[in-house]
Amino acid sequence: MLVVITGIDGAGKSTLASSVSHGLCSSGKVVHIVKPALFANETYQRYREALDFLADSDEVFRHAKSQLILLETCSVAMSKVKPLLNSRNIVICDRYFEASIAYLKTRELCWLDLDLVARYLPQPDISIFVDVPVQIAAERLTLLHHDVDGKMLEFLASMKEHLHEWAKASNGVHVLDGTLPIDHLTATIVDGILRETGNSGDCLS
């Protein structure tokens, strides 16, 4: 089973993924958390920073940046997510292709290629959008010592808008209020996953 937890920066995705993993393990499930290299790989970050600088002035580099994101997203899906799914584990993905597409749209880069390729990647069984107000996300990021300026606020607002569009256009995306207590969110998600895997529990809501 593939469970995707997505949201803007500061939504609490990683914290929630860890908490859900702990709850599922306590119920006897084998769980793996995958965080895409798109957001965690140091080498990729250096390439992206270079392309960020060059893409502002050259369309070739803008295209190169979108293709790099496509390749990184596909690499994670096929080399990390798919092998774990073949072992019949529960895989919790801290963001997936929907976040990459939202990022490309926010940065006004080409997203259609990834949207097409994504149809051939392992598809989520449960998709969760942790929705929080931009200001709360910004406050959380500030506590984590991230610089949050006007451009960052605009970026977060645009990402949130595109993720809402994805949630509305996709079937079965669970939009959860990320301002609720972590224990409540964890219990809601764990119960929903246990229900889907044949154990008793409540639906996600």
3-class SS of residue 147: coil
Fold that domain 2-196 belongs to in CATH: Rossmann fold (3.40.50)
Which tokens in the block code for residue 94? 């801290």
* Gap between the Cα atoms of 101 and 38, Å rounded: 12
For the sheet with 126-131, list strands across it.
31-34, 90-94, 2-6, 126-131, 173-177
Residue 180 DSSP label: S
Alpha-carbon 88 to chain mean position = 21
Cα 188 from Cα 182, distance rounded (Å): 10
Number of H helices, E strands in the chain: 10, 5
Q: What is the pLDDT of residue 205?
A: 42
Within 10 Å of residue 1's Cβ, how many Cβ atoms?
17
Instruction: Report in angstroms the alpha-carbon separations of 136 from 12, 13, 16, 86.
Output: 11, 14, 16, 38
**Going residue by residue through the chain (205 aa), what tens digit of pLDDT does each one get?**
999 999 999 999 999 999 999 999 999 999 999 987 555 566 666 766 666 666 666 677 778 888 888 888 998 899 999 999 977 789 999 999 999 999 999 989 899 999 999 999 999 999 999 999 999 999 999 998 888 999 999 999 999 999 999 999 998 999 999 999 999 999 999 999 999 887 644 445 4
Distance in angstroms (rounded) separating the CA atoms of residues 112 and 27: 40
Sequence-distant (6+) residues with CB within 8 A of 134 are: 8, 153, 156, 157, 160
Report the pLDDT value the prediction gives residue 202, as an integer from 0 to 100: 40
Cα 101 from Cα 116, distance rounded (Å): 11
Read off the tokens for 24.
Answer: 């599922």
- CB-count burial class (<10 Å; 0-12, 13-18, 19+) for 92: buried
